[in-house]
A and B are shown apart, each in its own frame.
Chain A
Amino acid sequence: MNAEQQYIELFTTYENTIRLSASDVLNAPRTQAFDDFKRLGFPSVRNEDYKYTDVPRAFAPNYGINLKRFQVPVNPYDVFRCDVPHLSALLYFIVNDSFYDRKQPKASLPEGVYAGGLNHFAESYPEIAGRYYSRAASAGKDGIIALNTMLAQDGFVLYVPENVIVERPIQLVHIFRSDVDTMANRRVLVIMEPRSQAKLLVCDHSIDNVRFLSTEVIEIFAGEGACFDYYDLEESTEATARFASLHAKQEATSNVLVNGITLNNGLTRNNYYIELNGPFAESTLCGMSILDKEQHVDTCTHITHAVPNCTSRELFKNVLNDRSTGVFSGRILVKEGAQKTSAFQTNRNLCATREARMYSKPQLEIYADDVKCSHGMTTGQLDENALFYLQSRGIPKEEALTMLSIAFAADVLDNVRLDGLKDRLHSLIEKRFRGELSQCRECRNILS
């Protein structure tokens, strides 16, 4: 039986169960997504974009899916202490793939702003949800998105109406909690109406030592003049596989920042699709991963400049140790007529051991002439001279190596526009390099 078959059978058998627990908006694209999945299957390594990540293998084991929506016995608010000091974020939880709605932050959001469960949102505001849900992430092109769309039952929504500014950052914590191997199909939908502003921090955590697999589809709609920050911090376990696909559609003069940081993981595939559809839109896409053991991070970015006068900046850094694997494949597409485009892409990688592998493929595809586009890619080691300089000043080699590694990774953090988070990330990264942080300590024993 191939990897797809068990999901096809699962859906055929449990379609009604899935439909019962989800709202009409989520159910609407399900049949089409199922057809797409049957047609596409999982992308194999023969697919150029998935050359270095064996997707069918990751999906082959028999994972449990909480189709019947049993409540997972956990109260994350009582035990979760991973709050970022001075950030005073509004905290929300997704446990496996269900929105945790039994208790929510008391602090009030500005009027009209919705932050909460996708299913609830889709039931309360079917019109808005229907207009955006599954509109950016096309199930017809990617088998994993198709699978997610056909199985998704809940998720998180952030809706900010016109001209509203959400001052306090919003934090969403994805928690994996289970006693058996579990799969979760997660959705995040962000709707930023014109001239609204918000910041969202998403953390991925795995609590138990069983195998976890998540598919995540994140859709971001930034209206005219909207300003949105999306920070994604993955702190899972070696037994966790994650396939995330972020789709952002930006209108004129909107500004979107996406920053994806992987500190601990097993197998991660992050797809980023950014479309600049209105003039003078700006996009910053950056990311970093610190890898060791057998960890694997595969980043694939597609930035599309469809109209003139847009700017995109891209920066991805990988630090590879042990037998880890890093993949970066970035594409900037400048469509015909998208004049005065500025697009810059940088990928820098640090390979510290012989067994570490780095595959990099930055690409430019340009169909307009009045553009400024560049990409740069380097793979190498820390500068021996810098190391010698530090050592000659009495800094032990180990310490000097750590200092230089931190410095190497630091400029991705310059793109963090939340001071509290920036400090927190600095210290997390430092701990990570010092080997003190095999897993976010605060999250352990989350269950009593």
Chain B
Amino acid sequence: MQDSNQIINEVTSGDYKYGFVTDIAMEVIHKGLNEDIIRLISVKKKEPAWLLEFRLKAYRYWLTLEMPDWAHLKIPLINYQDISYYAAPKTKNTPKSLDEIDPELLKTFDKLGIPLEERKHLTGMAVDAVMDSVSVKTTFKEVLSEKGIIFSSFSEAVQHHPDLVQEYMGSVVSYRDNFFAALNSAVFSDGSFVYIPKGVHCPMELSTYFRINAANTGQFERTLIVADDESYVSYLEGCTAPMRDENQLHAAIVEIVAKEQAEVKYSTVQNWYPGDKEGKGGIYNFVTKRGLCKGKNSKISWTQVETGSAITWKYPSCILAGDNSAGEFYSVAVTNNYQQADTGTKMTHLGRNTKSLIVSKGISAGFSQNSYRGLVKISPKATGARNHSQCDSLLLSATCGAHTFPYADVRNETAIIEHEATTSKISEEQLFYCNQRGISTEEAVGLIVNGYAKEVMNKLPMEFAVEAQKLLTISLEGSVG
């Protein structure tokens, strides 16, 4: 057993690969948060008056709120005046082609393995890259626009499709939703906007890559996805940040609207800098993600692989309003060293015959704390609702913690809901079984961890599955996979 403990130790002490800093000219506004700052952001983004009004409303509401403390997290006091709310790579004009983009920037995204260049046609993925606060480049725009698909940065969408943005922004996550949603609504700088028209099956994966680069800044982006009747889209999101000793704040909002028969698949590989082995530095990831299954037979599926961030506070949720709509949540959350994660989902069943499925896998190592928190709510009108939740935790050290806090509120007698949770470590029997068959303990640990996470990994699109596998490797060991 000594052996395997040692191996697990080695395995769980991999390094963060994306911690480099890009040396690029940045425009960062001064620190602090007040109405003037918000007006400044709005001016910089040449926003219409209604949007500024929205921001100011959100800001005034935010002032009335207190930082929530119900999560199973120890969050140090955050000084919201000590953060810069806008940072952007300096460009003279919006780049028309790749040649105009700062080569440093291209290199950055190359290093991250993001196919910004259109020659990487074969990867078949359209990418919107967001560095700090602004969208750097969106690829494949033309191909997509032929089908009527709008895929652009949020600021562009505000300029070109203000009616769509105005209609849907805040319709799923209102600025009054919670503390961080209010903050984001006040200061959000950019993000992605996707609109899939009626009956269109998006031919490629859409992807956004978020990168925090500047120091002392926060990142506040907003993603809005609207899938009209009978459409389909698969959307991927990835994120990384440099290694810094300070903690940086990331508070994003993701809103999804799925209309009749529409399906949206949202996958995240979250790999913000988790802090060093002593728990110094790292990103605070406080995100509000919610999807609304508005129409009949619509479906929203969340898949997330969470390996980064010092603190994660994130509950991708579904409101199942349309009859027969379905929500899914697949999650692997890995915490190591001093990371803390409080993550899970909320499934709100409103329509008839709505279905939801929750599969959550937590892996804790080092001194980390990993919590699943979920709510399944069946409203009185949700006749025939069905839910199954499964939350498993795997513990890799004696000093870490794994917790489950599932809530179930049932207000309709025809609902059937089930919840199962288990917590265990890799058993000596499992390791012995592998050893006996000539598999070394190190390989066996890898095998078991991978097998454990497979149910979720299988739900990721191909391009991401590879990255996610690699991430598990980095987060947990030298050679898992």
30 A–B contact pairs at CB < 8 A?
A336-B398, A349-B410, A351-B410, A353-B413, A359-B407, A359-B408, A360-B410, A361-B407, A362-B421, A363-B403, A364-B403, A364-B421, A364-B423, A366-B402, A366-B403, A367-B400, A369-B396, A369-B398, A369-B400, A370-B395, A371-B423, A372-B424, A373-B422, A374-B423, A375-B420, A376-B419, A376-B421, A377-B418, A381-B413, A381-B416
- 9 more contacts with CB within 8 A, not counting A361-B406, A365-B403, A376-B419, are A339-B398, A351-B410, A357-B411, A359-B407, A361-B408, A365-B401, A368-B398, A369-B425, A381-B413
Question: Contact: A356 with B413, CB < 8 Å?
Answer: yes
A369 contacts across to B, CB distance below 8 A: 395-398, 400, 425
Given contacts A371-B423, A374-B423, contact A364 B380 (CB under 8 A): no
A361 contacts across to B, CB distance below 8 A: 405-408
Cβ of B208 under 8 Å from chain A: no
Question: Contact: A373 with B418, CB < 8 Å?
Answer: no
B420 contacts across to A, CB distance below 8 A: 374-377
Question: Contact: A371 with B395, CB < 8 Å?
Answer: yes
Rounded to whole Å, the gap between the CB of B396 and the closest CB of chain A is 7
In the bound assembly, the distance between CA atoms of A375 and B391 in angstroms comes to: 9
B403 contacts across to A, CB distance below 8 A: 363-366
Q: Which single residue of chain A is at the shortest CB-CB distance from B388?
A: A378
In the bound assembly, the distance between CA atoms of A357 and B406 in angstroms comes to: 17
Given contacts A366-B402, A369-B400, A373-B424, contact A378 B418 (CB under 8 A): yes
B416 contacts across to A, CB distance below 8 A: 378-381
Q: Which single residue of chain B is at the shortest CB-CB distance from A326?
A: B410
Question: Contact: A367 with B419, CB < 8 Å?
Answer: no
Q: Which single residue of chain B is at the shortest CB-CB distance from A348?
A: B418
In the bound assembly, the distance between CA atoms of A343 and B122 in angstroms comes to: 51
Q: Which of A357, A362, A363, A376 meets B410, CB within 8 Å?
A: A357
In the bound assembly, the distance between CA atoms of A316 and B84 in angstroms comes to: 51
Cβ of A281 under 8 Å from chain B: no
Rounded to whole Å, the gap between the CB of A328 and the closest CB of chain B is 9
Cβ of B243 under 8 Å from chain A: no
Given contacts A366-B403, A367-B401, A373-B422, contact A358 B396 (CB under 8 A): no
Cβ of A352 under 8 Å from chain B: yes
Q: Which single residue of chain A is at the shortest CB-CB distance from B400?
A: A369
Q: Which single residue of chain A is at the shortest CB-CB distance from B408?
A: A360
B397 contacts across to A, CB distance below 8 A: 369
Q: Which of A339, A353, A358 meets B408, CB within 8 Å?
A: A358
Binding site for A on B (CB under 8 A): 70, 72, 380, 393, 395-425
Q: Which single residue of chain B is at the shortest CB-CB distance from A371?
A: B423
A356 contacts across to B, CB distance below 8 A: 413
Given contacts A354-B380, A371-B395, contact A363 B417 (CB under 8 A): no
Binding site for B on A (CB under 8 A): 48, 336-337, 339, 349, 351-354, 356-381
Rounded to whole Å, the gap between the CB of A49 and the closest CB of chain B is 12
A362 contacts across to B, CB distance below 8 A: 404, 406, 419, 421
Q: Which of A339, A359, A363, A372 meets B404, CB within 8 Å?
A: A363
In the bound assembly, the distance between CA atoms of A441 and B405 in angstroms comes to: 42
A377 contacts across to B, CB distance below 8 A: 406, 408, 417-420
Given contacts A361-B407, A368-B398, contact A351 B413 (CB under 8 A): yes
In the bound assembly, the distance between CA atoms of A361 and B409 in angstroms comes to: 9
Q: Which single residue of chain B is at the shortest CB-CB distance from A353?
A: B413
Q: Which single residue of chain A is at the shortest CB-CB distance from B424?
A: A372
Given contacts A353-B413, A379-B417, contact A371 B425 (CB under 8 A): yes
Question: Contact: A371 with B424, CB < 8 Å?
Answer: yes
In the bound assembly, the distance between CA atoms of A27 and B416 in angstroms comes to: 50
Q: Which single residue of chain B is at the shortest CB-CB distance from A367?
A: B401
Given contacts A358-B408, A359-B410, A361-B406, contact A375 B425 (CB under 8 A): no
Q: Which single residue of chain A is at the shortest CB-CB distance from B392?
A: A374
In the bound assembly, the distance between CA atoms of A370 and B431 in angstroms comes to: 14
Q: Which of A48, A337, A363, A366 meets B401, CB within 8 Å?
A: A366
Question: Contact: B414 with A381, CB < 8 Å?
Answer: yes
Q: Which of B400, B402, B410 meets A379, CB within 8 Å?
A: B410
In the bound assembly, the distance between CA atoms of A362 and B410 in angstroms comes to: 14
Question: Contact: A374 with B410, CB < 8 Å?
Answer: no
Rounded to whole Å, the gap between the CB of A313 and the closest CB of chain B is 15
Question: Contact: B398 with A374, CB < 8 Å?
Answer: no
Rounded to whole Å, the gap between the CB of A152 and the closest CB of chain B is 33
B72 contacts across to A, CB distance below 8 A: 365
Q: Which of B70, B393, B412 meets A366, CB within 8 Å?
A: B393
Rounded to whole Å, the gap between the CB of B391 and the closest CB of chain A is 9
In the bound assembly, the distance between CA atoms of A373 and B411 in angstroms comes to: 29
Q: Which single residue of chain A is at the shortest CB-CB distance from B411?
A: A357
Rounded to whole Å, the gap between the CB of A428 and the closest CB of chain B is 25
In the bound assembly, the distance between CA atoms of A357 and B393 in angstroms comes to: 29
Rounded to whole Å, the gap between the CB of A404 and the closest CB of chain B is 15
In the bound assembly, the distance between CA atoms of A48 and B375 in angstroms comes to: 14
Question: Contact: A375 with B70, CB < 8 Å?
Answer: no
A349 contacts across to B, CB distance below 8 A: 410
In the bound assembly, the distance between CA atoms of A263 and B405 in angstroms comes to: 29
Q: Which single residue of chain B is at the shortest CB-CB distance from A359?
A: B409
A370 contacts across to B, CB distance below 8 A: 395, 398, 425
Question: Contact: B406 with A363, CB < 8 Å?
Answer: yes
Rounded to whole Å, the gap between the CB of A186 and the closest CB of chain B is 32
Rounded to whole Å, the gap between the CB of B217 and the closest CB of chain A is 35
A368 contacts across to B, CB distance below 8 A: 395, 398
In the bound assembly, the distance between CA atoms of A357 and B413 in angstroms comes to: 8
In the bound assembly, the distance between CA atoms of A369 and B401 in angstroms comes to: 8
In the bound assembly, the distance between CA atoms of A352 and B380 in angstroms comes to: 13
B415 contacts across to A, CB distance below 8 A: 351, 379-380
Rounded to whole Å, the gap between the CB of B191 and the closest CB of chain A is 33
Question: Contact: B410 with A378, CB < 8 Å?
Answer: no
A364 contacts across to B, CB distance below 8 A: 393, 402-404, 421, 423
In the bound assembly, the distance between CA atoms of A72 and B67 in angstroms comes to: 54
Rounded to whole Å, the gap between the CB of B71 and the closest CB of chain A is 12
Rounded to whole Å, the gap between the CB of B471 and the closest CB of chain A is 22
A371 contacts across to B, CB distance below 8 A: 395, 423-425
Q: Which single residue of chain B is at the shortest CB-CB distance from A369?
A: B395
B422 contacts across to A, CB distance below 8 A: 372-374
